[in-house]
Structure 1
Amino acid sequence: MFQPKSMEVVLMLGLGLLLVAANCTPATAVPSSECRRQCGNVEITYPFGIGMNCSMPGGFDVTCQRDLNGFPKPFIGGRELLDISLTNSTIRVLNPITTYCYNDTTPEQQLINGTTEWLKTDRNSPFRFSEIRNKFTVIGCNTLGVIANNNSGSEYLSGCFSYCGRNLSAQTDSSCSGMGCCQTTIPKGMDFNAVVLGVIKGASNTSRTWKGFGQQCSYAVVTEAAAFSFRTTYITTTGFSDMAAGRAPAVLDWSIRNGTCEVAERNLSGSYACRSANSKCFDSTSGSAGYVCNCSQGYEGNPYLPDGCKDVDECNQGRPCPPDGVCRNTVGGYRCYCPTGRKYSQSNNTCVFDTGLLIGVTVGFLGLMIFSFFGYMILQKRKLKKVKQEYFRQHGGLILFETMKSEKGLAFTVFSEDELRQATNNYDKSRIIGKGGHGTVYKGVLKGKPVAIKRCTLIDERQKKEFGQEMLILSQINHKNIVKLVGCCLEVEVPVLVYEYIPNGTMYELIHGGNQELQTSFSTLLRVAQEAAEGLSFLHSYASPPILHGDVKTANILLDENYMAKVSDFGASILAPSDKEQYVTMVQGTVGYLDPEYMQTCQLTEKSDVYSFGVILLEVLTGEVPLKLYGPEATRSLTSNFLSAMKENSLSTVVASHVTEQESTELIRGLAELAKNCLDMCGSNRPSMKEIAHELSRLRKLSIHPWVQLTMEETETQRLLRGPADTSFETESSGIGYPGPDGANQPINPVSSYYAR
Structure 2
Amino acid sequence: MASWPAHSFLLLLCLVLLAGTATPQTAPPLSVDAADRWARPGCQPKCGNVSIPYPFGIYSDSDCFRPGFEINCTSDGTPYLGLDCNIEVMDIQLLKGTLVVNHYIAKDCNYQNGSHPHTDSWINITGLPNYKFSHERNSFVAIGCDALGYISSDRESTFWTGCLSYCTDASSVPNDTCSGIGCCTAPIPMDLSDFSLLVTSFYNHSDSSFAPCSYAFLADESKFNFNLSSFTEYQNKEKAPVTLDWTIADQTCEEANGTDDFACVSPNSRCLNSNNGPGYLCNCSEGFQGNPYLNDSNGCLDINECSADPSPCVKRCHNTEGRYSCSCPWYMYGDGQRDGSGCTSILRILYLSLGVGLSLFFLIAIGSWLYWIYKKRKLGELKQHFFEKNGGSLRPDIRLFSSEELEAASDNYNQSRILGEGGFGTVYRGVLPDRNVIAIKKAKISNDEAEVQQFINEVEVLSRINHRNVVKLLGCCLESQVPMLVYEFVPNGTLAHHVHGEGHRGSLSLEARLRIASEVAGSLSYLHSAASTPVIHRDVKTTNILLDHDLTAKVSDFGASRLVPLDQNGLVSLVRGTFGYLDPEYFQTGEFTDKSDVYSFGVVLVELLTGKKPVAKTQAVKNLATLFIDCVNSGRLVEILEERVVDEGAPELLEAVTELAMRCLSLKSNDRPSMREVAMELEALIRWRIHPWGNVNVEEGDSLLAKVGSSSPSVLRDYVNSSVEPMVPFEIVR
Larger RCO (alpha carbons 8 Å, 6+ apart)? 1
After TM superposition, the score normalised by the length of structure 2 is 0.42
After TM superposition, the score normalised by the length of structure 1 is 0.41
